[in-house]
């Protein structure tokens, strides 16, 4: 089948979010916390509102009651921290926005952000799951006194016997690098509200337009049939342009509030800070080896495996909408475990998973078990033991 989309893209005729021009569009810029954990002592927007070109400045108090951003629960009973569109009182991740400035141009909006007077009181935090779960660690979020987001455990067969009867044990620790998808096109969103028809149209650089549509309708109290989400040309995604992100909700809310189209386009630095990160996991494994079988030597009968896994990629509730996966069901068949580290069957399996909430710099430094990415992050620790035989309308391109 011949590709049909290439000509426009390779000749500079692609239509990305920032290429779309809608009459009367306003530009939104966000004032973001430089701290991973801090109390907002004061926020004065007087000077920002007086900035030439600035149309409005919004804080958390202006938003009122908006439905919560949907977040993936890693397992039944997962504690979900708040994920505010604009922070009030306390910020729990670097890059979390505290105010939105709307202006006639992106330059005027940036000038308005520079004139916001925000005073922070830095608070203590923890940057890794072990520190978060240690005795006396600072409490990260109100919903969890001990910083645990979840605990999942199950057992199948007799893994203890496999290790007890083994003549040898081989251990290995693997540290996976943390990474961030860096698409050529940063995230961006453009929203237009039609008051006469009661319809919302949103153009966004996303890989999941239908998910965004459903979330916007629920959060803004609209009939889903009255919400249209369009993904124009998307300049790369790598899995990070899922969402919904808070910016997509904010531009829609502001467009409806002001009755004018509103656009937000991330800068490169902002995108790195606020878009989901991934990987960064650490795994320590142990395998029992029966007598007469040398590790790495002759082929023989696998006796079992024990793994301690600490995934640190993605985000949990205080940061972003996605999360890493943790086994949440008992093994099936002959001991198959959820998300095993390779092919094989495990007649004897034991698993214990813990999700820890922590604080890290980098709002986009979402950790993929978590993005408490950005600054509050989530991590999970998993142990797996394996026993014997483990085997636009209206949008035009400017110019």
Q: What is the CATH number of the domain that holds 210?
A: 3.30.365.10
Kindly state the tokens that stand for 382: 């998993």
Query: Do 166 and 284 share a structural domain?
Result: yes
Q: Which domain holds residue 167?
A: 129-179+276-386
Query: Do 280 and 174 share a structural domain?
Result: yes
Backbone angles phi, psi at 279, to 5 degrees: 60, -145
Query: Do 380 and 288 share a structural domain?
Result: yes
User: Could you give the percent of the chain with pLDDT greater than 90?
Assistant: 43
Which region among 204-208, 298-302, 307-311 has the lowest average model confidence (pLDDT)? Answer: 298-302
Domain count, the chain: 2
Residue 352 in this model has a pLDDT that exceeds 80: no
Task: Centre a 10 Å sphere on the Cβ of residue 23 and count the other Cβ atoms it contains.
Answer: 10
- pLDDT, tens digit (0-9, with 9 covering 90-100), for 237-294: 988 998 899 999 999 999 999 999 999 999 999 998 899 887 766 677 777 777 766 5
Query: Do 294 and 247 share a structural domain?
Result: no
Burial of 21 (0-12, 13-18, 19+ CB in 10 A): middle
Query: Do 290 and 172 share a structural domain?
Result: yes
Query: Do 189 and 171 share a structural domain?
Result: no
Residues in the chain: 399
Which domain-ending residue is among 247, 274, 301?
274
Give all strands (DSSP E) within the chain, no chain letters.
Answer: 26-32, 38-44, 54-59, 90-91, 97-103, 117-122, 148-156, 168-175, 178-180, 188-194, 199-204, 227-230, 262-265, 277-279, 282-289, 305-310, 314-315, 349-359, 369-370, 376-386
* Cross-strand partners of 383: 308, 352
Query: Do 266 and 212 share a structural domain?
Result: yes
Pairing of strands 227-230, 199-204: parallel
Query: Do 168 and 294 share a structural domain?
Result: yes
Q: How far apart are CA 176 and CA 197, in angstroms?
A: 51
Separation of CA 295 from chain center: 40
Specify the pLDDT at position 319.
36
Which domain-ending residue is among 257, 274, 291?
274
Residues with Cβ within 8 Å of 155's Cβ and at least 6 positions away in sequence, in order, are 349, 350, 351
- pLDDT, tens digit (0-9, with 9 covering 90-100), for 27-55: 999 999 999 899 999 999 999 999 999 99
Backbone angles phi, psi at 132, to 5 degrees: -65, -35
Query: Are 387 and 345 in contact, with CB atoms under 8 Å apart?
Result: no
SS3 247: helix
Which domain-ending residue is among 244, 274, 304?
274
| DSSP code of residue 389 | T
Query: Do 347 and 204 share a structural domain?
Result: no
Query: Are 363 and 246 in contact, with CB atoms under 8 Å apart?
Result: no
Using alpha carbons only, give the angle 224, 374, 243 rounded to the nearest 5 degrees: 20
pTM of the model: 0.79
């Amino acid at each position: 089948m011949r590709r049909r989309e290439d000509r426009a893209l390779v000749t500079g005729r692609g239509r990305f979010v920032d290429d779309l021009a809608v009459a009367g569009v306003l530009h939104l810029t966000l004032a973001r916390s430089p701290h991973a954990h801090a109390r907002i002592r004061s926020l004065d927007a007087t000077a920002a509102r007086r900035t030439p070109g600035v149309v409005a400045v919004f804080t958390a108090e202006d938003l009122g009651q908006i439905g919560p951003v949907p977040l993936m629960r890693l397992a039944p009973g997962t504690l979900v921290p708040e994920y505010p569109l604009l922070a009030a009182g306390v910020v729990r991740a670097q890059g979390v926005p505290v105010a939105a400035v709307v202006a006639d141009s992106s330059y005027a909006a940036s000038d308005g952000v520079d004139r916001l007077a925000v005073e922070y009181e830095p608070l203590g935090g923890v940057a890794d799951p072990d520190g978060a779960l240690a005795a006396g660690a600072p409490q990260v979020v109100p919903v969890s006194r001990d910083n645990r987001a979840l605990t999942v455990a199950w057992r199948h067969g007799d893994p203890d016997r496999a290790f007890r009867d083994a003549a040898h044990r081989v251990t290995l620790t693997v540290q996976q690098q943390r990474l961030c998808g860096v698409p050529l096109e940063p995230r961006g969103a453009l929203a237009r509200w039609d008051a006469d028809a009661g319809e919302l149209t949103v153009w966004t650089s996303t890989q999941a337009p239908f998910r965004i549509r459903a979330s916007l309708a629920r959060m803004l109290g609209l009939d889903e049939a009255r919400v249209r989400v369009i993904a124009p040309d998307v300049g790369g995604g790598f899995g990070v342009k899922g969402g919904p992100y808070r910016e997509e909700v904010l531009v829609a809310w502001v467009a409806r509030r002001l009755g004018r189209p509103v656009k937000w386009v991330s800068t490169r630095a902002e995108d790195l800070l606020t878009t989901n990160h991934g990987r960064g996991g650490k795994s320590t494994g142990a395998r029992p080896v029966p007598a007469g079988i040398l590790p790495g030597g002759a082929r023989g009968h696998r006796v079992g495996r024990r793994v301690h896994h600490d995934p640190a990629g993605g985000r949990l509730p205080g940061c972003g909408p996605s999360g890493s996966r943790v086994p949440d069901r008992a093994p099936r068949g002959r001991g198959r475990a959820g998300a095993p580290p390779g092919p094989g069957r495990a007649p004897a399996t034991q698993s214990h998973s813990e999700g820890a909430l922590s604080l890290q710099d980098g709002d986009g430094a979402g950790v993929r078990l978590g993005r408490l990415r950005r600054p509050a992050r989530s991590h999970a620790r998993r142990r797996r033991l394996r026993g014997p035989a483990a085997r636009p309308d209206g949008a035009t391109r400017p110019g």
